[in-house]
Copies of this chain bind each other. A is one copy, B any other.
Amino acid sequence: MSEGNVAADQLRLFIERIERLEEEKKGIADDVKDVYAEAKANGYDTKTMRAIVRLRRMEKHARDEADALLETYRNALGLA
């Protein structure tokens, strides 16, 4: 079997990389949950906190989008 399973091996490696990343991702998601729990234990309202996080994310996205649009304009006008 010294040959022919190259493709299978490569696939397996891809799969394993993905699984490792997914695990990391899950770990971080758990960390996020912990922070909310800790905040709640300190008397904060998690619903409001989630709203704040959501708002800030939206604002950041809008800003990024605006920057990209401005860049598009610049290019269209041949500036910089």
Contact = CB atoms under 8 A, between A and B. Distances in A.
- Report how many copies the assembly holds: 4
Q: Is the interface of A mostly helix, strand, loop or mixed?
A: helix
A19 B53 contact: yes
A64 B5 CA distance: 27
Interface in A5-59: 10-11, 14-15, 17-19, 21-22, 24-25, 28-29, 31-32, 35-36, 38-39, 42, 44-45, 48-49, 51-59
29 contacts: A10-B42, A11-B49, A14-B35, A14-B38, A14-B39, A14-B42, A14-B44, A15-B49, A18-B32, A18-B36, A18-B49, A18-B53, A19-B56, A21-B31, A21-B32, A22-B53, A22-B57, A25-B29, A28-B28, A48-B69, A48-B72, A51-B65, A51-B68, A51-B72, A54-B65, A55-B65, A55-B69, A58-B61, A59-B62
